[in-house]
Amino acid sequence: MNNRPITEDDLHAYVDDVLEPERRAEVGSYLAGHPDVAKRVAGFADQRELLRATLAPIADEPLPPELNLSRIIEGQRRRSPPAWWAIAAMLLLSVGGFGGWIVRGSMEAAPGGLAALAQEAAYSYNVYAPDRLRPVEVRASDTAQLVQWISSRLNRPVKVPDLASSGYRLMGGRLVATQHGPAAMFMYDDDHGSRVVVLTRPMSSGDQNAPMTAQSNDGATGFTWADSGIGYSLVGKAPAETLRPVANEVRRQARAI
Amino acid sequence: MQDMLVQVEPLIPALRRYARALVRNRANADDLVQDCLERAVSRWHQRRDGSVRAWLFTILHNLAADQFRQASSRGRHVPIEEAGEGELRGAAAQEHRLMYHDVLDKLARLPEEQRAVLLLVAVEDLSYAEAAKVLNVPIGTVMSRLSRARERLQQELDGVAGAPGNVVTMRRLT
């Protein structure tokens, strides 16, 4: 009935019980007619059982604390590995191309400038920060992906600010649409679940460099500024005196690059 | 994050078992597993589709292989005996303990590459294709190593079978 010769591989697959039922039957009847081979195969099967029985208790031992996966995950989240989501700031930019005209004026008079960015940041905060299900599109655990994605959409290398020293942990981020093109939004929370967002995008018009200004939009407090053509806005519900040092930290990191 | 917990956590005992069978010393083995988990967490997003199990064993195996390489290039003696095995009590446990050391001694006489294949396939239930992936060799190499590993281990086991009492003597010699 069967013409396929039995191979060594078949014998091992027989021992490991990974043969198709039909082939298994063929090997079985071959072994029935070859007691010497059958003895060898039985020996392999015995040693397989011996190994499994000998080593099984190791897998039953309680896990030591250092192998607690939740703690390892938490540990990495807190540590903010310096390699890529780096020490520092957000946009490493090779300026150029965004020269354009510079408007220096009050925020009200420059709808494309700082005021617009502050407004966009407040919108993003109001929409995403209260979201319990999916506040961010890409989580902090996937920061490398987030950075790659945001960088490619903003056409420049982006780095995520590390606010751990201010007590805020990165939750993740997303791309948001603004009237002035794509912007990167990063969200953070502190130990009490209080959230802040940082919105950043190139200043396509107006306010290429602007000092930090405070504003209150739709019940949220924000600090907004621009450095070398890149605008930043940090928004949260915490008191202004709490948020200002955090904004200063973001600015410090961005300038430190 | 949650899917990582759900997919990785149940595999930790098997990773420990593999590491322990490879390097024997409990503390060293758990250090390897811890390194493996740290890497798995930080590289979770980089993994390709396919078996998480094979992916984790690949990380662990590479870490163990690095350690072997370093140990042999330094000519350093890797402590083989378990220190804190004191939890095992009673006659049955005592017997298992002897068997454990005896089997691991014999396993340790296999070349590292054969031992790895045998453990991955016969104990950890990886498919031949998964074992090939973990060890980064063609599947034909997995099969030939598996065959040699089983022949070799059988010789070791048969050697003892003919001489009762040898188990303990051999333990003292190592």
- Residue A167 domain boundaries: 82-256
- Residues B76, B132, single domain; the answer is no
Torsion of CA A130, A134, A140, A144, to 10 degrees: -130
Residue-wise pLDDT tens digits, A103-137: 333 343 345 688 889 889 988 998 999 888 888 98
- Residues A111, A198, single domain; the answer is yes
Q: Cβ B20–A55 below 8 Å, yes or no?
A: yes
On whether the CB atoms of residues B120 and B126 are closer than 8 A, the answer is yes
A69 in any annotated domain: no
d(C-alpha B97, C-alpha B85), whole Å: 9
d(C-alpha B34, C-alpha B40), whole Å: 10
- Residues A197, A117, single domain; the answer is yes
Could you say which of B81, B109, B131 is where a domain stops? B81
- Residues A148, A219, single domain; the answer is yes
Q: What is the ipTM of this complex?
A: 0.83
- Residues B51, B97, single domain; the answer is no
In this structure, what CATH number is given to the domain that contains residue B123? 1.10.10.10
Could you say which of B53, B81, B109 is where a domain stops? B81
- Closest by CA position to A81, among listed B48, B41, B57, B67: B41
Determine the distance in angstroms separating the CA of B44 from the nearest CA of chain A, rounded to an integer. Answer: 8
**Mean pLDDT lowest among A93-102, A208-217, A246-255:** A93-102
Q: Cβ B14–A59 below 8 Å, yes or no?
A: yes
- Closest by CA position to B160, among listed B116, B114, B98, B113: B98
Residue-wise pLDDT tens digits, A131-154: 888 889 899 988 888 998 998 888
Q: Cβ B122–A48 below 8 Å, yes or no?
A: yes
The residue of chain B nearest to residue A80, with distances taken between CA atoms, is B42
d(C-alpha A148, C-alpha B85), whole Å: 48
B14 vs A contacts (CB less than 8 Å): 59
Compare CB distances from B150 to A47, A60, A66 and report the shortest one's residue.
Answer: A47
Q: What is the pLDDT of residue A217?
A: 65
- Residues A120, A90, single domain; the answer is yes
pTM score, whole prediction: 0.56
A67 in any annotated domain: no
How many domains in chain B?
A: 2
B122 vs A contacts (CB less than 8 Å): 15-16, 47-48, 51-52
A68 in any annotated domain: no
Determine the distance in angstroms separating the CA of B77 from the nearest CA of chain A, rounded to an integer. Answer: 24
Compare CB distances from B17 to A58, A67, A72 and report the shortest one's residue.
Answer: A58
- Mean pLDDT (chain B) is 82
Compare CB distances from A144 to B45, B107, B128 and report the shortest one's residue.
Answer: B45
Q: What is the pLDDT of residue A218?
A: 62
Determine the distance in angstroms separating the CA of A238 from the nearest CA of chain B, rounded to an integer. Answer: 28
- Residues A95, A191, single domain; the answer is yes
- Residues A53, A125, single domain; the answer is no
In this structure, what CATH number is given to the domain that contains residue B6? 1.10.1740
Interface test with B, best of A16, A55, A72, A171 (most B CBs within 10 A): A55
The b/e string for B6-39 (b: 16+ C-beta within 10 A; e otherwise) is: ebbeebbbbbbbbbbbbbbbbebbbbbbbbbbee
d(C-alpha A252, C-alpha B44), whole Å: 31
A16 vs B contacts (CB less than 8 Å): 121-122
CA–CA distance from A193 to each of A34, A171, A185 (Å)? 71, 11, 18
Q: Cβ B16–A144 below 8 Å, yes or no?
A: no
Higher pLDDT among residues A88 and B51, named by residue: B51
Could you say which of B31, B48, B81 is where a domain stops? B81
- Residue B54 domain boundaries: 1-81
Determine the distance in angstroms separating the CA of B20 from the nearest CA of chain A, rounded to an integer. Answer: 8
Order of all β-strands in the sheet with A230-236: A138-139, A169-178, A181-189, A195-202, A230-236, A220-227, A210-217
Which residue bears the tokens 């021992």? A15
DSSP result, A92-112 = -----S-------S-TTT-TT
